């Protein structure tokens, strides 16, 4: 049976750039451009009327920019959005804001056939759109803080030992989730133990992601350096195209070892090393993301006596990484995004023995 092409809406104010994007997409029979928008308002309107499989979104546009248009689309007619903009390299903070607004990915806009990277950039664009079009997006996450619900236990809770480290991993939808969690973790009188993060993201975004996440919290957020001691109150982010782990004497371990299941940094690498170094004092959180990176590492951490929290399906942009952990009965708790930080605070505070 013939598969229907993916229906794409292109939002771009420059006629030249819009025509280039349309031609790039039309070279792939699996993609079909069904609409073109000159600004954010038109993008929202066409998205409501055409119901495309995915929207490519520029950021700087008249009447309504791409950030506001993405927020409206995710509120009114949830549809996968991929930002394609020249601002990706020049303004990392704006790119991160686009992810927080609900975009699934951000890509540099191809500059034209005269560029030596044109074919590679065009192929990356088409491949990303095909992957992101399969994501079942959700409406903007509600604020659940005012209406807490009991946390869901999926495996027996281990004998409690105060965590000495927090390891978190995410993929699609992760930057916004991490931003929200960190914004709620940094206001305590006593700093939390070291926090290690693996986020699947495009090359060149590591430093910008660290800077952006740093605006959300009073905690120190930095890209990890090999061999540095892990200190409380500091968030360590895996560098671009490097694994992040910890040594037995609790120092950051940055490695260029081969990718694991196609990922570098790898959540499996992080969780396995944390399990070896911390055992029962390890606390892990698996957040929204595509695929199953982290499952094997979480299995090791669970067996070592560490505690595992998984984000729930309702608040995950993509219920892949947390789903496989929950499905394998490795999550001690499954929580909506809005409750994860509060639960972490209860577990991480010195002297607290929360079951």
Element (H, E) at 245: strand 243-246
Measured in Å, how far apart are the chain's first and last C-alpha atoms?
Answer: 53
Q: What is the distance between the alpha carbons of residues 253 and 270, in angstroms, rounded to a whole number?
A: 9
Q: Is 171 a catalytic residue?
A: yes
Tokens of 278: 């911390």
Q: Answer yes or no: are the C-beta atoms of 116 and 300 closer than 8 Å.
A: no
Burial 303-338 (b: 16+ CB within 10 A, else e): ebebbbbbbbbebbbbbbbbbbbbebebbbbbbbbb
Which position among 200, 243, 302, 332 bears the catalytic label?
200
Q: Answer yes or no: are the C-beta atoms of 261 and 320 closer than 8 Å.
A: no
Which position among 95, 122, 171, 273 bears the catalytic label?
171
Which position among 39, 58, 121, 293 bears the catalytic label?
293
**CA angle at residue 54 from 51 to 56, to 5 degrees?**
120
Q: Answer yes or no: are the C-beta atoms of 309 and 333 closer than 8 Å.
A: yes
Q: Is 293 a catalytic residue?
A: yes
Q: Answer yes or no: are the C-beta atoms of 80 and 55 closer than 8 Å.
A: yes
The closest of 270, 201, 285, 263 to 236, measured between CA atoms, is 270
Among all residues, which ones are annotated catalytic? 171, 200, 293
């Amino acid at each position: 049976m013939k598969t229907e092409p993916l229906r794409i809406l292109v939002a771009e104010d420059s006629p030249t750039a819009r025509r280039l994007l349309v031609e790039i997409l039309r070279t792939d029979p699996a993609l079909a451009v069904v609409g073109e928008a000159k600004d954010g308002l038109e993008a929202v309107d066409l998205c409501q009327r055409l119901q495309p499989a995915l929207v490519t979104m520029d950021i700087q546009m008249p009447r309504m920019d791409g950030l506001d248009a993405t927020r409206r689309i995710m509120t009114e007619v949830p549809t996968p959005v991929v930002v394609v903009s020249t601002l990706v390299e020049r303004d990392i903070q704006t790119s991160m804001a686009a992810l927080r607004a609900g975009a699934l990915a951000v890509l540099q806009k191809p500059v034209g056939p005269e560029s030596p990277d044109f074919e590679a950039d065009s192929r990356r664009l088409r491949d990303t759109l095909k992957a992101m079009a399969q994501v079942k997006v959700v409406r903007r996450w509600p604020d659940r803080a005012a209406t807490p619900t009991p946390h869901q236990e999926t495996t027996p809770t281990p004998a409690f030992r105060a965590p000495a480290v927090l390891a978190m991993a995410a993929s699609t939808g992760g930057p916004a989730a991490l931003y929200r969690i960190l914004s709620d973790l940094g206001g305590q009188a006593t700093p939390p133990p070291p926090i290690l993060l693996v986020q699947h993201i495009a090359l060149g975004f590591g430093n910008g992601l660290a800077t952006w996440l740093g605006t959300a919290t009073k905690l120190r957020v930095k890209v990890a350096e090999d061999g540095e001691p892990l200190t409380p109150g500091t968030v360590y982010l895996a560098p671009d195209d490097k694994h992040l782990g910890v040594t037995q004497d609790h120092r950051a371990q940055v490695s260029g070892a081969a990718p694991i299941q196609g990922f570098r940094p790898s959540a499996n690498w992080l969780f396995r090393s944390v399990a070896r170094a911390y055992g029962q004092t390890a606390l892990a959180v698996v957040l929204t993301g595509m695929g199953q990176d982290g499952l094997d590492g979480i299995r090791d951490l669970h067996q070592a006596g560490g505690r595992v929290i998984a984000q729930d399906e309702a608040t995950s942009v993509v219920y892949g990484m947390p789903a496989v952990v929950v499905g394998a009965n490795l999550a001690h708790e499954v929580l909506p995004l809005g409750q994860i930080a509060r639960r972490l605070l209860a577990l991480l505070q010195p002297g607290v023995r929360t079951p």
